[in-house]
Amino acid sequence: MGNVIMADLARIPELLPSIIEMVAKVVFIFTMNMGVFAPLLGWVERKQSALMQDRIGANRADILGITAFGLLHTLTDAIKLLTKEDFIPRGADKPLHYLAPFIAVVPALIAFAVIPFGGQYVLWGHKTNLVIADLDVGILFVFAVASISTYGSVIAGWASNNNWSLLGGIRVGAQMLSYEVAMGLTLVGVFMVYGSLRMTDIGVAQENFFHWGIFLQPLGFILFITCALAENKRTPFDIPEAEAELVAGYFTEYSGLKFAMFWMAEFLEMVTISGVLVALFFGGWQIPFVTHEGLVKFFGFLGSNFAQVAVMVVHVTVFWVKVLGWIFLLMLIRWTLPRFRYDQVMELGWKIILPLALVNIFITGAVMLMVM
């Protein structure tokens, strides 16, 4: 086995550009998610909901009188959560109580691995593909990971030795299970249209503005966004944490950093959902009516390598701007709609979205047969 490892080590120099590329991509996505989105979305949520409701929003935390539009509340939140007592209720299952927040947050982080945040570029002779893992199964990976994140909530509910938490956990289980089925089916139409599960293929196919998923799959889009909202467990579908009924649902018994992790998981899931929506329905990194070649030509005066870099920067920026737009919309929906009742959620999932998704598949198939 020793020489096998030695052989692997010997290949490092030739693999070096790929390794650098990989590390750079992972670091970029990680800082984007953990460094930018996780802390800032709390602020965005507070301010946005405040303005929607004719309020000002949190703005009291200040350093020497500088409040920075309430941005410092993020800092004070962090300090508060770090210094808070980590409470574990009596009779709780301690190891599982510790494990649950991690199970919740890790899938939310790794789901972004298959979402392309840019196209393919040739930089100094090295082909770069701006997605961490360009898997053939693509979007199925996101589903698989999302289904794993269910365990975080379910176990949290079970391990807390609290009836509210248990009920919350059971509701999470039921809701996730129902909507995963529907979510998978809603996207079948997208796979059929683009003929691939690979997210980069789907992204490339959307170079033509009128081939964006939203135009080819309008019904699929509406169904998918409903399912995605349900998977995110935020307000119209927040029956697992329903404050009015279940205190805080599955994370009732969590405090301090462990609570923060559930909080973060929710926000990261939102980023992931926005990423998937953009990648599948809103052209990914593409700018409407601007082709890749056109952009390269536009930056041609920079020389071939730097032109590619410029195009890359533009594409990545476009992608994140789209994601931000979607986060804004998701927050709007979250602060506009009232919560569904439990039976309504189940009915919507099984009796409306599932049949409609099947209908969507049939229509897509029929149209494709007619066109081709």
Partner 1 sequence: MELLIFYGLGLLALFAAAAMIMVRQPVTSALLLILNMFCLSGLYAMLGAHLIAILQLLVYAGAIMVLVLFVIMLLNLREKKGIVSKHQIALQTAGVAVFGVFMAVIAARLHTSQLPNPKAVTASFGTVGAVGRVLFTDYILPFEIASILLLAAIVGAVILAKSKV
Partner 2 sequence: MSGTYRKVDRNVTLTLWERLYLPEVIRGVTITTRHFFVNFLSVTKAYFGGKPSDRKIMTIYYPDEKPVLPEAYRGKPVLVLGSDGRGKCVACGLCEVACPPKCISIVGGMREDGTRRPVTYKLNGAVCIFCGLCEEACPEEAIVMSDRYEGLSEYDRKLMVYDKEALLVPEEKLGKRLDYIRRRMFGKWNY
153 lines the binding site for partner 2 (CB under 8 A): no
323 lines the binding site for partner 1 (CB under 8 A): no
Residue position matching structure tokens 């169904």:
223
DSSP string of 53-76?
TT--------BTTB-GGGTHHHHH
CB nearer partner 2, residue 222 or residue 324:
222
Torsion sign across C-alpha atoms 236, 240, 244, 245: positive
Q: Which of 260, 249, 263 is nearest to 154 (CA)?
A: 249
CB nearer partner 1, residue 7 or residue 66:
7
Q: Which does 368 bind (CB under 5 to 8 A by kind): partner 1, partner 2, none?
A: none
State the number of binding residues for partner 1 (CB under 8 A).
33
- 47-66: which residues touch partner 2 (CB under 8 A)? 48, 50-56
Contact present, 271 and 40 (Cβ < 8 Å): no
In this chain, which of 48, 150, 200, 272 binds partner 1, going by CB under 8 A? 150
51 lines the binding site for partner 1 (CB under 8 A): no
CB nearer partner 1, residue 102 or residue 124:
102
Rounded to whole angstroms, what are the CA distances from 359 to 227, 231, 286, 366? 16, 22, 29, 11
CB nearer partner 1, residue 201 or residue 245:
201
Burial zone of 134 (CB within 10 Å; 0-12 exposed, 13-18 middle, 19+ buried): middle
In this chain, which of 26, 32, 123, 140 binds partner 1, going by CB under 8 A? 140
x/- site string to partner 2, residues 301 to 320, per CB under 8 A? Answer: --------------------
Q: Which of 186, 158, 162 is nearest to 172 (CA)?
A: 158
205 lines the binding site for partner 1 (CB under 8 A): no
Q: Which does 29 bind (CB under 5 to 8 A by kind): partner 2, partner 1, none?
A: none
Interacting residues of 164 by C-beta distance below 8 A, sequence separation 6+: 246, 247, 248, 249, 252
Q: Which does 371 bind (CB under 5 to 8 A by kind): partner 2, partner 1, none?
A: none
Residue 115 CB, shortest distance to partner 2, in Å, is 25
Interacting residues of 190 by C-beta distance below 8 A, sequence separation 6+: 202, 213, 216, 217, 220, 280, 281
Length of the chain: 372
Q: Which does 166 bind (CB under 5 to 8 A by kind): partner 1, partner 2, none?
A: partner 1
Residue 149 CB, shortest distance to partner 2, in Å, is 26
Contact present, 179 and 144 (Cβ < 8 Å): no
Residue 222 CB, shortest distance to partner 2, in Å, is 7
Interacting residues of 124 by C-beta distance below 8 A, sequence separation 6+: 305
Amino acid at 31: T
How far is the C-alpha of 210 from the C-alpha of 288, rounded, in Å?
9
How far is the C-alpha of 111 from the C-alpha of 114, rounded, in Å?
7
In this chain, which of 26, 68, 93, 296 binds partner 1, going by CB under 8 A? 93
Q: Which does 243 bind (CB under 5 to 8 A by kind): partner 2, partner 1, none?
A: none
- 18-47: which residues touch partner 1 (CB under 8 A)? none
Q: Encoding tokens for residue 16? A: 């070096």
CB nearer partner 1, residue 180 or residue 241:
180
Which residues of the shown chain bind partner 1 in the complex (CB under 8 A)? 1, 4-5, 8, 93, 96, 135-137, 140-141, 143-148, 150-151, 154-155, 157-158, 166, 169-170, 173-174, 176-177, 180-181, 197
Which residues of the shown chain bind partner 2 in the complex (CB under 8 A)? 48, 50-56, 222, 332-333, 335-337
